[in-house]
Structure 1
Amino acid sequence: MKQLSFLLEKEFRQVFRNPAILRSVLIMPIIQLLIFPFAANYEVKNVLLSIVDHDHSSYSQKFISKITASGYFILTDYSPSYNKAMESIESDKSDLVIEIPKNFEKDLVKENKSSMLLAVNAVNGAKANLGGAYAANIIRDFNQEIRLDWMTFPAFNAIPTIEITSSNWYNPTMNYKDFMVPGILVTLLTMIGTFLTSLNIVQEKESGTIEQVNVSPISKTTFILGKLIPFWIMGLITLTIGLLIARLFYQIVPVGNISLIYLFAMVFLLALLGIGLLISTYAETQTQATFVGFFVMMVFMLLGGLYTSIDSMPEWAKWITKVNPVAYFIEVMRMIVLKGSGFADIKYHLLSVLGLAVVFNTWAILNYHKRS
Structure 2
Amino acid sequence: MTLKYLIQKEFLQIRRNAFLPKLIVMFPIVIMCVMPWVMQMEVKNIVVDVVDIDHTVESQRLVQQIAASNYFIFGGQKNTYVEAMKDIEKGRADVILEIRDGKYLIAANAVNGTKGSMGSAYLSQIIRPTPQPLPVMEGSGYSQGQQVSAPSLTGRAGGGSLLLYNKGQNYKLYMIPALFAIVMMLMTGFLPTLNIVGEKESGTIEQINVTPVSKWSFILAKLIPYWLIALFVITVCLLLAWLVYDISPAGPVWLIYVLAMLLALFFSSFGLIVSNYSDTMQQAMFVMWFFVVSIMLLSGLFTPTRSMPQWAYLTTYINPMHYFIDAIRTVFIRGGGLHETAHQVLALAGIGTLMGCWAVLSYKKNS
Normalising by structure 1, what TM-score? 0.88
- Partners of 2:173 and 2:124 in 1: CA distance: 28
Please show how residues 1-372 of structure 1 align to structure 2 within 5 Å: 2-101=1-100, 104-105=101-102, 115-139=103-127, 141=128, 143=130, 163-371=158-366
Could you report, residue by residue, the CA deviation over 1:229-282 in whole angstroms, capped at 9, with x for unpaired residues?
A: 111110111001100101111111211111111112111111111111111101
- Secondary structure at 1:345 match in 2: coil
Could you report, residue by residue, the CA deviation over 1:67-115 in whole angstroms, capped at 9, with x for unpaired residues?
A: 33343222113222222211111222100011223xx14xxxxxxxxx4
- Secondary structure at 2:293 match in 1: helix
1:301 Cα offset (Å): 1.7
Q: Is the 8 A contact 1:77 1:85 kept in 2?
A: no
- Partners of 1:199 and 1:27 in 2: CA distance: 19
1:332 Cα offset (Å): 1.2
Q: CA RMSD, aligned part only?
A: 1.7
- Secondary structure at 2:291 match in 1: helix
1:363 Cα offset (Å): 1.3
2:154 matched to which residue of 1?
Answer: none
- Secondary structure at 1:267 match in 2: helix
Q: Is the 8 A contact 1:77 1:88 kept in 2?
A: no
Could you report, residue by residue, the CA deviation over 1:148-180 in whole angstroms, capped at 9, with x for unpaired residues?
A: xxxxxxxxxxxxxx9314332221211111111
Question: Which amino acid in structure 2 is aligned with residue 3 of structure 1?
Answer: T
Could you report, residue by residue, the CA deviation over 1:39-92 in whole angstroms, capped at 9, with x for unpaired residues?
A: 112222221001112232334323323333343222113222222211111222
Q: Is the 8 A contact 2:48 2:72 kept in 1?
A: yes
- Partners of 2:216 and 2:232 in 1: CA distance: 24
2:145 matched to which residue of 1?
Answer: none
Question: Which amino acid in structure 2 is aligned with residue 327 of structure 1?
Answer: H
Structure with the largest fraction of helix: 1
Count the aligned residue pairs: 342
- Partners of 1:206 and 1:324 in 2: CA distance: 31
- Partners of 2:73 and 2:114 in 1: CA distance: 18
Q: Is the 8 A contact 2:43 2:71 kept in 1?
A: yes
2:153 matched to which residue of 1?
Answer: none
Name the larger-Rg structure. 1
Question: Which amino acid in structure 2 is aligned with residue 284 of structure 1?
Answer: D
Q: Is the 8 A contact 2:250 2:332 kept in 1?
A: yes
1:157 matched to which residue of 2?
Answer: none
- Partners of 2:245 and 2:186 in 1: CA distance: 22
1:111 matched to which residue of 2?
Answer: none
Q: Is the 8 A contact 2:184 2:263 kept in 1?
A: no
Question: Which amino acid in structure 2 is aligned with residue 22 of structure 1?
Answer: P
Q: Is the 8 A contact 1:272 1:325 kept in 2?
A: no
Question: Which amino acid in structure 1 is aligned with residue 316 of structure 2?
Answer: T
Could you report, residue by residue, the CA deviation over 1:23-54 in whole angstroms, capped at 9, with x for unpaired residues?
A: 22111111111011111122222210011122
- Partners of 1:211 and 1:295 in 2: CA distance: 28
Question: Which amino acid in structure 2 is aligned with residue 29 of structure 1?
Answer: P
Higher RCO, Cα 8 Å, sep 6+? 1
Could you report, residue by residue, the CA deviation over 1:317-354 in whole angstroms, capped at 9, with x for unpaired residues?
A: 21222222111111111111111111111111011111
- Secondary structure at 1:143 match in 2: coil
Q: Is the 8 A contact 1:25 1:235 kept in 2?
A: no
Normalising by structure 2, what TM-score? 0.89
- Partners of 2:339 and 2:285 in 1: CA distance: 38
Which range is displaced more, 24-33 or 67-76?
A: 67-76
1:142 Cα offset (Å): 5.2
Q: Is the 8 A contact 2:259 2:328 kept in 1?
A: no
Q: Which runs of 5+ in 1 are unaligned?
A: 106-114, 145-161
1:156 matched to which residue of 2?
Answer: none
Q: Which runs of 5+ in 2 are unaligned?
A: 132-156
